[in-house]
Amino acid sequence: MKSRVVRYALFSVLAAVSAVTGQAQAQSWPEKPITFIVPFAAGGGTDAFARPLAAQLDSQLGKRVLIENRAGAGGTVGASLASKAAPDGYTFFMGAAHHAIAPSLYPNLDYNFEKDFIAVALVARPPQVVVVNPDKVAAKTLAEFIAYAKANPGKLNYGSAGAGTTHHLAGELFKILTKTNLQHVPYRGAGPAMQDLIAGHVPVVFDGLGSSAAPIRAGQLRALAVAAPKRVPAFPDLPTAAEAGLPGYEVSTWYGLFAPKNTPPAIVEQMAKELQKAMQTSAIKEAWERNGSDVPDVAGPAFAKMVSSEVERWRKVATEANVKLD
């Protein structure tokens, strides 16, 4: 009985010391530059939100927030790297909806998205958009494009940010709903996919507005529909998929910040507060509006719950589409 009391007292002391240490770390944090691991090539949708956010946090924290692009395997290479980073509050991971899809498609992942990361906060959630190269696709409406795809089964390629990304599954969902046959061409991120779409090497991409907004405005791409329940304020003339004749086609590419597991809770909480502060600045609000996203207010356990629901949602889509990756 005595030894049990001693063990309990020792545990209480250690817990108290750990709490005090965590608070002290948070008070002095950050003492050096912070790295955001972005698991796609530069110029994609993740970059479109990660870089303005890093710049804003630079000024708030008084320390550099660096972007490290680590592309490959639909974002899983960067996720694997981030999951093994030191949990000291100086490495964070800019994850996305792609990573909620990956567990259903990649049987040999060396990390667990829900267990090896701490969900800090949802950063952005721009909807997907169907975009085509106007020189390669004559269709000016979604209905015309669907008719064209049906008349040319197997002859149209669609690009994506990589196998297993929302771009990929959005394309597969499109095929299921329209009963069309398009061929998938994966890239190492939305940036390279956009470059090839603009160059005419692929005719269509089911992209997130974060990376396609600028070329749409520049007239380099033609947007046919947004995969959202309502129109996007930044593109008021762009119809929803339902309005364009394809009800049920709703996909968004959300982005969120994660910390490696065992990162001190006090530092995670402090980062969440800094994110909340950053998201309320005019610079971030204006950038998000340009990229077709709202400014979400979802953090901590609520964000973790959303991630789990997304993992389950995309598991069902992957099963129906019969998509498997090595």
| Residue range 237-265, pLDDT digits in tens | 999 999 999 999 999 889 999 999 999 99
Reported as type and span, the H/E element at residue 82 is helix 76-83
**Cα separation of 39 and 36, whole Å?**
10
**Cα separation of 211 and 198, whole Å?**
12
- Asked whether 323 and 169 are in contact (CB, 8 A), the reply is yes
Strand partners, 109: none
pTM listed for this prediction: 0.84
- Give residue for tokens 């791409």: 221
| Residue range 122-132, pLDDT digits in tens | 999 999 999 99
Q: How many angstroms separate the Cα of 322 from the Cα of each of 38, 166, 182, 187, 196?
A: 28, 15, 15, 20, 27
Tokens of 12: 């209480």
Tell me how far apart the terminal alpha carbons of the chain are, to the nearest angstrom: 54
Judge whether residue 10 has pLDDT over 50: no
Strand partners, 299: 121
Tokens of 266: 């006090």
- Give residue for tokens 């303005």: 52
- Average of per-residue pLDDT across 268-278: 98
**Cα separation of 198 and 195, whole Å?**
5
- Asked whether 125 and 252 are in contact (CB, 8 A), the reply is yes
DSSP state of 176: H
| Residue range 131-142, pLDDT digits in tens | 999 999 999 999
What are the strands of the beta sheet with 91-96, ordered from one edge? 65-69, 34-38, 91-96, 255-260, 117-124
- Average of per-residue pLDDT across 19-40: 80
